[in-house]
């Protein structure tokens, strides 16, 4: 094998960060998984792994992919037993009939905290989604990445991926400019077109299966 440890880790960096961010974002530093996540991040920043500057560079380079991977871990229930608090009309993001998810899964609340922590890593405040409304190209890459993820999954996992798409849209919409004044080329119009296109596409693809 000719690849170094740093190169191997860089190749799976988005999925690595998606597994670390929910635990890094926890307020209670005494939780075991939080401690383990911080130790692993420290290892990643060592020069013989990725390095401190290397981690910062990969965070920016793979930002859309990190968010797609992070949203793809949606599946855990909220600590109080609810699933959709503050997510619009008590939207239910989980079901007892969902198939077993063989990756770590997190509640909507933990994912929102992760997005805020990700923003702080990049020197921003609040959710990273609000910051990215000034970067339509990244928003487009995230939405495209989520759709590609749905397309790549078996029927039993597609619903979970669609829920992660819905979570992203619900986080994004309140941060968009007023849609009443939208012009055909702005971000708000793109998001609405993407949602409509995606729903029509999924309905047609399900009918053809």
- pLDDT for 91 equals 52
Band the pLDDT of 53: cuts 50, 70, 90.
very high
- pLDDT for 193 equals 86
Helix, coil or strand: residue 74: strand
Tell whether the torsion through CA atoms of 23, 25, 31 and 32 is positive or negative.
positive
Tell the residue number behind the tokens 């849209």, with chain if given: 169
User: What are the beta bridge partners of residue 93?
Assistant: none
Is residue 66 within 8 A of residue 56, CB to CB? The reply is no
For 138-193, what is each residue's pLDDT tens digit? Answer: 998 999 898 888 888 777 678 788 888 889 988 898 888 665 455 545 778 888 88
Across the range 127-140, mean pLDDT stands at 87
- Is pLDDT of 96 > 80? no
Looking at per-residue confidence, does 1 or 47 come out higher? 47
Is residue 135 within 8 A of residue 176, CB to CB? The reply is no
Is residue 93 within 8 A of residue 167, CB to CB? The reply is yes
As given in the structure block, the two tokens for residue 122 are: 């990049």
Mean pLDDT score of the chain, rounded to an integer? 81
Across the range 92-118, mean pLDDT stands at 77
Tell the residue number behind the tokens 């094998």, with chain if given: 1
Kindly calculate the radius of gyration of the chain based on its CA atoms and give it in whole angstroms. Answer: 18
- Is pLDDT of 35 > 70? yes
- pLDDT for 93 equals 57
As given in the structure block, the two tokens for residue 12 are: 């799976």
As given in the structure block, the two tokens for residue 196 are: 């409509």
* Ramachandran angles phi, psi of 74, nearest 5°: -60, 135
Band the pLDDT of 97: cuts 50, 70, 90.
low
Query: Distance (Å, rounded) from C-alpha 16 to C-alpha 13?
Result: 5
- pLDDT for 207 equals 62
Alpha helices in 103-176 (DSSP H): 108-121, 128-132, 136-152, 155-172
- Is pLDDT of 18 > 50? yes
């Amino acid at each position: 094998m000719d690849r170094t440890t740093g190169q191997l880790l860089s190749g799976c960096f988005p999925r690595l960060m998606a597994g670390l961010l929910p635990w890094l974002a926890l307020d209670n530093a005494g939780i075991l998984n939080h401690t383990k996540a911080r130790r692993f991040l420290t290892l990643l920043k060592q020069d013989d792994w990725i390095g401190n500057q290397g981690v910062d560079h990969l965070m920016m380079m793979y930002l859309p992919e990190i968010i797609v991977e992070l949203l793809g871990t949606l599946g855990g229930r909220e600590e109080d037993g609810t699933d959709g608090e503050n997510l619009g009309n008590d939207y239910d993001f989980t079901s007892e009939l969902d198939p077993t998810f063989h990756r770590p899964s997190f509640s909507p609340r933990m994912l929102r905290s992760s997005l805020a922590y990700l923003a702080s890593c990049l020197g921003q405040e609040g959710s990273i989604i609000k910051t990215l409304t000034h970067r339509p190209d990244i928003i487009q890459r995230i939405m495209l990445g989520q759709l590609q993820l749905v397309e790549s999954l078996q029927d039993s996992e597609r619903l979970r991926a669609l829920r992660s798409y819905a979570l992203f849209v619900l986080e994004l919409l309140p941060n968009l400019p007023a849609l009443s004044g939208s012009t055909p080329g702005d971000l708000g119009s793109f998001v609405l077109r993407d949602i409509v296109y995606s729903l029509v596409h999924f309905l047609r693809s399900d009918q053809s299966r």
